[in-house]
Amino acid sequence: MRSSLLRRVLFFLVTGVVLTGCGRKALEMYYPKAHFTKMVLDQADKKVVYLEWGVPLAYAGKVQTNYEEVKGKSNEIIYVLVVNQSTKERGWVDVSTVVKNPIAKATLLNNAVVFKTPSEVSREFFTMNAPMIGYVVEVQDDWARVQWYMAAYKVFTGKSEWTTYEWIKWNQISTNSKDADLLSLLYLSYTKFSTWKEKWPTLMDSNQIIAMSNEIEKELIYLDNLTKAFADASTVNYAIELYKSIDYLIHPVVEESGDYGEGYQGEDTSEDY
């Protein structure tokens, strides 16, 4: 569990180095737009692996065009060869599923308004709830255009409203990659919790209860380790609250009612004079 967490954390810690460049010549980089982004390994068996949002992929010098049939139509699909900067796996990704050279990762820490255009007088806006993540792909004055991870919006916030608007005031987002990376790692935990919350109260079979309880306990250990690894991230409170919510599911706190039974008179605090 601990080594698995370490590998996943390293997936993202390298991102800050890549995005900032650290004074070196910047690599041509790609980042998955969503979890479960498909990458076909560049090897004989063409093994498929699935990437998480935010994983840094370095361009490996090749682009190819394939013609693939989708729903009875032949579509032109462009693939780019990349190297996963953490695992060093080399493979092909569909360019439509990745973002090329984003300026930074963005995290919405507080509810804010996003606009269709970079103008506060625009009547076309959407109130976005926090937390939310995305990639900054353009900057104009004090505005940032963010390709938001909209597929994760309901997972993080429980809100089903949708928007394609991308412009937000720069000072309303965090560009500390750790903040976004932690939320990306929490994505699957949020998803699991949603499923558990629905199924746990309905379980009657003892074997099923034990099996799900074991799954939840493992997730709690994972979240505890994740919280410690990202203790300085601004989004760590989301990890802490998620931990508490999942823990409460199987360890509900029974509050004392204060009913001490008939005949209880309480402690006599009067004084005799």
The percentage of residues in the chain with a pLDDT greater than 90, rounded to a whole number, is: 75
Tens of pLDDT, residues 48-61:
999 999 999 999 99
Q: Which helix (H) or strand (E) holds 79?
A: strand 73-84
Which residue has tokens 């007088």? 121
Q: Which of 6-15, 65-74, 90-99, 158-167 has the lowest mean pLDDT?
A: 6-15
The answer, yes or no, to whether residue 67 has pLDDT greater than 50, is: yes
Q: Give the pLDDT score at 255.
A: 58
Question: CA torsion sign, 24 to 25 to 27 to 31?
Answer: positive
Indicate the average pLDDT of the chain: 88
Contacts of 15 (CB under 8 A, 6+ apart): 31, 54, 55, 56, 85, 105, 177, 181
More confident residue, 13 or 26: 26
Residue 58: name the closest of 86, 24, 37, 16 by CA.
86
Which residue has tokens 């353009």? 138
CA 10/CA 256 separation, integer angstroms: 44
Q: Give the pLDDT score at 122.
A: 87
CA 50/CA 56 separation, integer angstroms: 13
Q: Give the pLDDT score at 11.
A: 46
Q: Give the pLDDT score at 18.
A: 52
Tens of pLDDT, residues 218-262:
999 999 999 999 999 999 999 999 999 999 999 987 655 555 444
Instruction: Count CB atoms within 10 A of the CB of residue 248.
Output: 10
CA 163/CA 114 separation, integer angstroms: 9
Q: Give the pLDDT score at 71.
A: 76
Tens of pLDDT, residues 76-126:
999 999 999 989 999 999 999 999 999 999 999 999 999 999 998 988 999
Which residue has tokens 């380790």? 225
The answer, yes or no, to whether residue 203 has pLDDT greater than 60, is: yes
| Tokens read off for 30 | 């790609």
Instruction: Count CB atoms within 10 A of the CB of residue 209.
Output: 13
CA 138/CA 146 separation, integer angstroms: 7
Which residue has tokens 């790609």? 30
Tens of pLDDT, residues 107-120:
999 999 999 999 98
Instruction: Count CB atoms within 10 A of the CB of residue 218.
Output: 11
